[in-house]
């Protein structure tokens, strides 16, 4: 087992990894920019190293600085959290070249799944169901129009290197294809340095269902059920729950086995999430995230496992501490993402926290790096906390979420907490009758084009 690990991230996810390491008796090293000198993850770690100025490209994304921090502190392994360098295959290779262990998948698996076309081809060969679409990249507008006609509209054009909702455009008709095609290419080039796009059939009322998988890199893998992440705004998740309210036990077992078998076949190591669109009883693969997800706590809640602890274990060479037969769902869990944003436009709202009080009680977990007097810097993602609740069933989880939101105090900045208070008054939320378009339609009805 490792004696010391470096956490190449910030905020609540850095704290999450530091806490798991401490429980395992492992020392932790925090890295930080000059803007994060007073951040909670820096205070909580056993050691800390400043890796650069506020800009993430010069600090948290600086591979030489991260490696140097690991070497000068004697860290044996690096946990990337999510975002930043977590899905950078080059970073994984550099980590290994310097005699360190990357706590996550191999560089090859990250590379394969990071390209949407290669990922889809790989999953097809592994028996995972995929959305109908182009066989590869689509180079010209003429080819795009031909595919649109062949598949039938609407279609969605996606940047092959895309993610986070960037480089994705829907064409409802042949008339809309040119603008959607050119815009998706331009966004792919500007955000990812790659203007290649592919085209898929656009499902009209799907849910976003993702399967949590975990492998030991030795040909063994399991699934830990699904999460429903259908409540999204501009392809960004807002509200996640497990198990999915629309998924039956039979469907869960079927798609879960397909995913676990696929990961076992490729000797996948660590945590990963296979994302699907689900419509009319069918699952359609869209992408795989080769890392821990923001919403992993809901899976931990219903299965009673620590996914970060397990990541560290298998990266050190140990076997997984559970097999598929050990994993049984207990109750229902919901997570809401608390962002420092001003409604209704979701404008980032950095600033000083004048008062912070986390909710508590049975079945309530608050993952946050906030504290009284903390100044949220303007340089990074606006996520400031995740409120996770667990109950015996979905109604109890919803009631517990309502109670916990009422206890949460974040003064000094605007947050998205009022959004969840309003959502919990909607019948569709209580019945679970929603899809990936529901939230945006709801927001339009109340706030216009926010």
The average pLDDT across 331-340 equals: 98
The average pLDDT across 202-230 equals: 96
Band (310; pLDDT cuts 50, 70, 90): very high
Of 361, 327, 346, the closest CA to residue 222 belongs to 327
Share of the chain above pLDDT 90, in %: 90
Torsion of CA 301, 305, 307, 308, to 10 degrees: 100
Are the beta carbons of 29 and 49 closer than 8 angstroms?
yes
pLDDT score of 448: 73
Band (449; pLDDT cuts 50, 70, 90): low
Residue tagged 């109890």 (tokens) = 396
Are the beta carbons of 384 and 370 closer than 8 angstroms?
yes
Phi-psi region of 81 (alpha: psi -120 to 50; beta: other; left: phi over 0): left
Band (360; pLDDT cuts 50, 70, 90): very high
**Other CB atoms closer than 10 Å to residue 362's CB: what's the count?**
8
- Comparing 190-199, 243-252, 379-388, 397-406, the range with the smallest average pLDDT is 190-199
Q: Which helix (H) or strand (E) holds 365?
A: strand 364-368
pLDDT score of 450: 53
The average pLDDT across 98-107 equals: 98
Catalytic site includes residue 291: yes
Find the length of the chain: 450
Share of the chain above pLDDT 70, in %: 99
On whether the pTM is more than 0.75, the answer is yes
Distance CA 404, CA 367 (A): 13
How does strand 27-33 pair with strand 4-7? parallel
Are the beta carbons of 292 and 271 closer than 8 angstroms?
yes
Q: Which helix (H) or strand (E) holds 232?
A: strand 221-233
The answer, yes or no, to whether residue 188 has pLDDT greater than 60, is: yes
Distance CA 27, CA 154 (A): 52
pLDDT score of 191: 87
pLDDT score of 131: 84
CA angle 224, 265, 196 (to 5 degrees): 90
The answer, yes or no, to whether residue 98 has pLDDT greater than 70, is: yes
Average pLDDT, the chain: 95
The average pLDDT across 334-348 equals: 96
pLDDT score of 116: 83
Are the beta carbons of 270 and 105 closer than 8 angstroms?
yes
Of 58, 111, 104, the closest CA to residue 88 belongs to 111
Band (164; pLDDT cuts 50, 70, 90): low
Band (342; pLDDT cuts 50, 70, 90): very high
Band (447; pLDDT cuts 50, 70, 90): confident
- Write out the two tokens for 220: 């063994």
Concatenate the DSSP letters of all residues of 295-309 into one string.
Answer: THHHHHHHHT--HHH
CA angle 27, 223, 265 (to 5 degrees): 95
- Comparing 40-44, 127-131, 306-310, the range with the smallest average pLDDT is 127-131
Are the beta carbons of 66 and 85 closer than 8 angstroms?
yes
pLDDT in tens, 219-242: 999 999 999 999 999 889 999 999
Q: Which helix (H) or strand (E) holds 158?
A: strand 155-163
Pick the catalytic residue from 16, 227, 252, 291. Answer: 291
Are the beta carbons of 245 and 401 closer than 8 angstroms?
no
* More confident call, 214 vs 202: 214
Are the beta carbons of 258 and 127 closer than 8 angstroms?
yes
Distance CA 52, CA 64 (A): 11
The answer, yes or no, to whether residue 320 has pLDDT greater than 90, is: yes
């Amino acid at each position: 087992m490792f004696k010391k690990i470096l956490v190449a991230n910030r905020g609540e996810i850095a704290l999450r990894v530091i806490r798991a390491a401490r429980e395992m008796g492992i020392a932790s090293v925090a890295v930080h920019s000059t803007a994060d000198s007073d951040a909670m993850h820096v205070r909580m770690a056993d050691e800390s190293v400043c890796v650069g100025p506020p800009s993430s490209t010069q600090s948290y994304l600086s591979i030489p600085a991260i490696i140097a921090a690991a070497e000068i502190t004697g860290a044996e392994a690096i946990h990337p959290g999510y975002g930043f360098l977590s899905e950078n295959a080059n970073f994984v290779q550099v980590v290994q070249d310097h005699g360190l262990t990357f706590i996550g998948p191999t560089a090859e698996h990250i590379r394969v799944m990071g390209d949407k076309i290669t990922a889809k081809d790989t999953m097809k060969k592994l028996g995972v169901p995929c959305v109908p679409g182009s066989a590869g990249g689509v180079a010209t507008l003429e080819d795009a129009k031909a595919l649109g006609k062949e598949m039938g509209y609407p279609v969605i054009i996606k940047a092959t290197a895309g993610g986070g909702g960037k480089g994705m455009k829907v064409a409802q008709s042949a008339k809309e294809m040119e603008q959607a095609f050119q815009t998706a290419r331009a966004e792919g080039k500007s955000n990812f340095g790659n203007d290649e796009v592919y085209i898929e059939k656009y499902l009209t009322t799907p849910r976003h269902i993702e399967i949590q998988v975990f492998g030991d890199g030795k040909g063994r893998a399991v699934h830990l059920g699904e999460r429903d992440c259908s409540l999204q705004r501009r392809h960004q998740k807002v509200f996640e729950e497990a198990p999915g309210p629309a998924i039956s036990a039979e469907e869960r077992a079927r798609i879960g086995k397909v995913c676990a078998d696929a990961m076992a076949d490729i000797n996948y190591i660590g945590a990963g999430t296979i994302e699907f669109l689900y419509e009319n009883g069918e699952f359609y693969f869209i992408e795989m995230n080769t890392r821990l997800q923001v919403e992993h706590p809901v899976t931990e809640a219903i299965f009673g496992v620590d996914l970060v602890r397990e990541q560290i274990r298998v990266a050190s060479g140990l076997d997984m501490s559970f097999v598929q037969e050990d994993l049984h769902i207990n109750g229902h869990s919901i997570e809401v993402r608390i962002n420092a944003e001003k409604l209704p436009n979701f404008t980032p709202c950095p600033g000083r926290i004048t008062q912070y009080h986390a909710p508590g009680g049975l079945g309530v977990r608050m993952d946050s790096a906030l504290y009284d007097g903390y100044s949220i810097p303007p340089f990074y993602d606006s996520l400031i906390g995740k409120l996770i609740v667990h109950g015996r069933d979905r109604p109890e989880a919803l009631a517990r979420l309502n109670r916990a939101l009422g206890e949460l105090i974040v003064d000094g900045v605007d947050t998205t907490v009022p959004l969840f208070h309003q959502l919990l008054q909607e019948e569709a939320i209580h019945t679970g009758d929603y899809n990936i378009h529901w939230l945006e339609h709801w927001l339009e009805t109340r706030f216009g084009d926010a």
